[in-house]
Structure 1
Amino acid sequence: MAKKSLIARERKREKLVARYAEKRQRLKEAGDYEALDKLPRNASPVRLHNRCKLTGRPKGYMRKFGICRNMFRKMASEGKIPGVTKASW
């Protein structure tokens, strides 16, 4: 499991991106790059990183399910993800 501080930092960034999204869009359309520079760095959506919703793991993230590959495998084998079965042929 990831450190709680890293998970909290990522959530804080998500909130900041959401708060400044509209203002950022207006400034981009107007071409006011000096005002864009004055926005907080963490308000940029590029700085976000996908993390597992269960463990906070940053790598092996499966976008469709929102969890990492480890949790996906565990939950799929337990039958907790509908429509997902282990391949056999």
Structure 2
Amino acid sequence: MASARSFAKLYGTPKFQVRHRNRCKVCGRPRGYYRKFELCRVCLRKYALAGDIPGVTKSSW
């Protein structure tokens, strides 16, 4: 888990706007980001399986 200091560094405004990168609100991961949930794929799966995200269920066919 990232510390509060590293989160502040990650979410600081960049010198140039085009350098902005969407990051997970939980762990700060920059890749595999789902904009709708503001989470990375790892955290999305963890919270969805725990039932913390309403309306999201595991797919079964």
Give the alignment's TM-score, normalised by structure 2. Answer: 0.81
Residue in structure 2 matched with residue 54 of structure 1 by the alignment: 26
- Runs of 4+ deviating beyond 4 Å: none
Larger radius of gyration, structure 1 or 2? 1
Q: Name the structure where helix makes up a greater proportion of residues.
A: 1
Whether the aligned pair in 1 keeps the contact of 2:23 and 2:31 (CA below 8 Å) is yes
1:46-82 per-residue CA deviation (whole Å, 9 max, x = no partner) reads 1111110000111111111001000000100011000
Instruction: Give ranges in structure 2 of 5+ residues lacking alignment.
Output: none
1:24-44 per-residue CA deviation (whole Å, 9 max, x = no partner) reads xxxxxxxxxxxxxxxxx71x3
Give the alignment's TM-score, normalised by structure 1. Answer: 0.58
Q: How does 1:9-88 map to 2 (within 5 A)?
A: 9-13=9-13, 42=15, 44-88=16-60
1:2: Cα distance to partner? 4.7
CA RMSD of the aligned region, Å? 1.8
